[in-house]
Structure 1
Amino acid sequence: MVQTEIGPVCFSDTEFAEYALKRALSKTPAPFSGVIFDMDGVIFDSEREVLHAWQEVAAKHQIPHIADVIIACLGTNFQATRKKFDDFYGADFPFDQYEDEMRAIFYRRYDENHGLPLKKGVKGLLVDLKSRNVPVALASSTREEVVRRELEDAKIIEYFDAIVCGDMVARSKPAPDIFLKAAETISIAPTDGFVIEDSYNGIRAAHAAALRPIMVPDLKGPDEEMKAKTEVILPDLDTVRTYFDAIDVKL
Structure 2
Amino acid sequence: MKAVLFDMDGILIDTEKYLTVYKQKAMREAGYRLDLETAYKFRSCASVFAREQMKGIFGEDFPYDELRRRRQELMSDHIARFGIEKKPYVEETIKELKRRGYQTAVVTATAEDRAVRYLEMVGFKELFDEIISASMVKLGKPRPDVYLYACEKIGRKPEECMAVEDSPNGVNAAYQAGCHVTMVPDLTPADEEVKKMADHVVPDLRGLLEYLK
Shorter-chain TM-score range: over 0.9
Unaligned runs of 5+ in 2: none
In structure 2, what is the equivalent of residue 134 of structure 1?
102
Distance 1:206 1:95 in 2: 26
Q: CA deviation at 1:60?
A: 3.5
SS at match of 1:105: helix
- Which residue pairs with 1:38 in the alignment? 7
CA distance in 2, matches of 1:154, 1:80: 30
Deviation at 1:226, TM superposition (A): 0.8
Secondary structure of 1:109's partner? helix
Task: Indicate the SS of the match to 2:187.
Answer: coil
Does the 8 Å CA contact 1:40/1:47 hold for their aligned counterparts? yes
> Aligned pair 1:94/2:75, yes or no?
no
The answer for the alignment partner of 1:146 in structure 2 is 114
The answer to whether the 8 Å contact 1:77/1:142 transfers is: no
Which whole-Å CA distance do the structure 1 matches of 2:48 and 2:123 have between them? 29
How far 1:84 moved relative to its partner? 2.5
Alpha-carbon distance, 1:33 to partner: 0.8
Corresponding residue to 2:206 among 235, 238, 250: 238
- Aligned partners of 2:28 and 2:148: how far apart in 1? 39
> What is the 5 A alignment of 1:1-251?
32-114=1-83, 116-244=84-212, 246=213
Give per-residue Cα distances to partners, 1:123-179, cap 9 Å, x unaligned: 111111122221011111111111111111111111111121111111221211111
CA–CA distance in 1 between the matches of 2:127 and 2:12? 12
CA 1:67 to 1:150, structure 2 compared with 1: closer, same or farther past 3 Å? Answer: same
1:207: how far off? 1.0
Structure 1 runs of 4+ off > 3 angstroms?
Answer: 58-62
Q: 1:201 and 1:110 mapped to 2: Cα distance? A: 24
Q: CA deviation at 1:95?
A: 2.3
**Larger Rg computed on CA atoms:** 1
Where do 5+ consecutive residues of structure 1 fail to align?
A: 1-31, 247-251
What RMSD, in angstroms, separates the aligned Cα atoms of the two structures? 1.6
What does the per-residue CA deviation read over 1:187-230, in whole Å, with 9 as the maximum and x for residues that have no partner? 22211210000111111111111110101111121111111111
The 3-state SS of whatever aligns with 2:41 is: helix
Matched residues in 1 for 2:34 and 2:77: separation? 24
Tell me how far apart the structure 2 counterparts of residues 99 and 178 of structure 1 sit (CA, whole Å). 21
Contact 2:93–2:205 (8 Å) recurs in 1: yes
The count of aligned residue pairs is 213
Per-residue deviation at 1:37?
A: 0.6
Deviations 1:89-130 (A, max 9, x none): 11211223322332222111101112x211111111111112
Tell me which amino acid in the other structure corresponds to 1:79.
V
Q: Percent identity?
A: 29
| Distance in 2, Cα, partners of 1:203 & 1:172 | 12
Maintained 8 Å contact 2:168/2:194:
yes
